[in-house]
Amino acid sequence: MSYFKKRETKLTVLILVVFGFGFYLGQTQVVCEVCPPQDLDFSLFWEAYHKLQDKFVDKEKFDTDEMIYGAIAGMAGSLGDPYTVFLSPEDTKKFTDDVDGVFEGVGMEIDIRKGQLMVVAPIEGTPAQRAGLQAGDKIMKVDDTSTIDLTIDEAVSLIRGPRGTEVVLTVYREDWEEIKEIGIIRAVIEIPSLKLEFKEDDVAYLRLYQFSGIAAFDFRQAVFEILDSPARKIILDLRNNPGGYLEVSQDIAGWFLERGEIVVVEDFGNGEEREYKSEGTGSFSDYDIVVLINQGSASASEILAGALRDNLGVLLVGEKSFGKGSVQQLEKLRGGSSLKITVAKWLTPNGHLITDIGLEPDIEVEMTQEDYNENRDPQLNKAIEIIKNL
């Protein structure tokens, strides 16, 4: 058998594996669980494959596994959703290590908005924050690689790296006259959970950095501190909080909302909806509360802020949130690869769509570049002023 014939045979086997012929053996029937639709014509695919096999000059680069990965990635990418992506086995492992773990990189959440890679939020105490990156910064290049047409996961892979190494980001900010190159030394990133302070005894200032797996436990500890204090007012700071686990957001919402109140609604786009409700004690339901948000508040942060405003009439202070309101599900494939698929969109309890829209603050307060430079916080100052008068 010729070399090319062997390669063709191998690819045929891989195609069968990818499409996955699973069968249920019943008493009288055989059911195909994952069969290609009968009207799906793969002749164009095979025609292109044979042309490449016959004409491509570097035969040693003809890697069928990589070709299959590329084909699936292209299929997912054709849907035009930056969150629906194919992950190779290596990328799948990186993704599953993310939310709870300790990883090496610069420490920021990124996303794609209108085709442009941008910073959602730098994580507290990380190299990204110390380098001065801010929510809304647009990343034009990572080292020498343009970010045009990169997926989020490809960008993450480029930005991350071993501790002690440098990555250079080419960044555009609206307040700048020109783009700048920012060199950042990677480090071990330990994601913080929250910070609790008491301001003038009667105001608890609670800043949530991320809805990680440990955040629910840490929040519970903070709850007991607040309940044991004279404070009966809470400023909940969700600025630059890029989100995390939906279940953690639901758990934390339960300290504010009575049992059974809606936290968020998942809209699956086919008329099917699922309501997530508070399962907590509502210990803070009679407290005066103000929530701080900005364009770095995304995902689970927007869920919590929306739930408190819709159910309790809580005021949102600051800037419009990011608008990351979709649900991704990780579907494992053979060989360790996976598909991350957008399966639903989030609605606030009153039916407000979060995706690409975000939450408008009830009282808008901007942070200028001068505020950042001078370490001033007019948004927090405004929240304190408001809550004192409640």
Q: Which two tokens stand for residue 320?
A: 């419009």
Dig out the tokens for 325 from the structure: 């309101």
How far is the CA of 90 from the CAs of 87, 157, 163, 337, 340, in angstroms? 8, 10, 19, 8, 14
Tokens matching residue 352: 């407000």
310 is catalytic: yes
For residue 199, indicate whether it is catalytic. no
Per-residue confidence in pLDDT tens, the chain, 390 aa? 444 344 443 333 332 223 222 222 233 344 455 566 777 788 888 898 889 888 888 888 888 888 889 999 999 989 988 889 999 888 887 776 655 556 789 999 898 888 899 999 898 889 999 999 999 999 999 999 999 988 888 898 899 999 999 999 999 998 898 999 999 999 998 877 899 999 977 999 999 998 988 899 999 999 999 999 999 999 999 999 988 888 999 999 999 999 999 999 999 988 899 999 999 999 999 999 999 999 999 999 999 999 999 999 999 999 999 998 888 888 999 889 999 999 999 999 999 999 989 999 999 999 988 888 788 999 999 999 999 998
Contacts of 175 (CB under 8 A, 6+ apart): 368, 369
The full set of domains in the chain, from first to last, is: 1-55 (no CATH), 102-189 (2.30.42.10), 194-328+341-388 (3.90.226.10)
With residue 139 as reference, give the H or E element that holds it.
Answer: strand 138-142
Catalytic member of 310, 321, 337, 340: 310
Q: Which amino acid type is present at position 340?
A: K
Considering 321, 324, 337, 338, which one is annotated as catalytic?
Answer: 324
pLDDT at 34: 59
Q: Using alpha carbons, select from 184, 188, 186, 206 the residue that is nearest to residue 197.
A: 206
DSSP letters, 1-39, are: --HHHHHHHHHHHHHHHHH---EEE-SS-EEESS---TT
Q: Which of 193, 278, 299, 338 is catalytic?
A: 299
Active site residue 54: no
